[in-house]
Amino acid sequence: MKLTLGFSPCPNDTFIFDALIHHKIDTEGLEFEVFYDDVETLNHKAIHGELDVTKLSYHAFAYVANQYVLLDAGSALGFGVGPLLICKGDEQKAYEDLKSENRTIRIGIPGKYTTANFLLSLAFPNAVNKQEIVFSDIEQALLDDRIEVGLIIHENRFTYQDKGLKKILDLGDYWEKETGCAIPLGGIVANRKLPLDVQHKVNRVLRRSVEFAFANPKSGLEFIKQHAQEMSEEVMYKHIDLYVNQYSLDLGIEGKKAIQLLFDTAKEKEIIPEIKHELFLTPLV
């Protein structure tokens, strides 16, 4: 059986999917046609129901829970892994401006449906003058004075200081202090049109792929490098260490609790619509 599969070219995704797409593990007869896209493109593809299995932001999942179900394996959750708000000038002044009633501050975000944007809306509800920019271009937009504040994700948290940019706030820390929970960033979902046994098969195969990656961390090095946009090997593995952890193997009770809290909080703040479907993979009888 051949399924369409979407994930980003970022090291955490290529790390966990390497064994699956290159048949280094038993895929139980599944074949995959792979699409590599940035996370916001994947979010939009999910909104249009284009893929059988895909990575997406948890914020976006709130809008597609009627079409997709969350798998137990493959997620990016954790502590100290949240998006960062950064600026070129005085970080304290930028923070005060964001907290004020000033709605004119130009903010570059990596996408409307990213979890990063959800956290920004939660922490700074007056921050509404947003410009969507591909995540890898936000630092340069700040340096060029096209925006005043940048919301960065992925490997940019390791590079912004080298460019003289300054941290205003770690939105992951903000979430953790507010809730005591890990921050849910992105997950892997399966189309609800797939038979339940196929959804579980994908989940098993994906977990197997993550287990293989943990046991053989250098196995996919060339594949990861191929998609890493000239990133150094050191930064690649810092990125992987940050976003791939026990929640990537299995959400477990704590992971599911954090995700449910994220959605309950977002619904209470009217950031997302009401979700009427079960979020998590239904157990096989």
What residues form the annotated binding site for substrate? 55-57, 115-116
**Coil, helix or strand at residue 194:** coil
End-to-end C-alpha distance for the chain, whole angstroms: 22
Residue among 188, 173, 165, 181 nearest 119 (CA):
173
Residue among 150, 154, 145 nearest 133 (CA):
150
Q: Spot the catalytic one: 154, 200, 227, 239.
A: 154
**Coil, helix or strand at residue 189:** strand
The yes-or-no answer on residue 154 being catalytic is yes
Which letter does DSSP use for residue 110 in this model?
A: S
Query: Sign of the C-alpha dihedral, residues 191, 193, 196, 198?
Result: negative
Q: How far is CA 218 from the centre of its chain?
A: 23
CA distance 174 to 169: 8
> Distances from the Cα of 66 to the Cαs of 3, 60, 73, 262, 263, in angstroms?
19, 12, 20, 18, 14
- Indicate the annotated binding residues: 55-57, 115-116
Active-site residues, by number, are 154
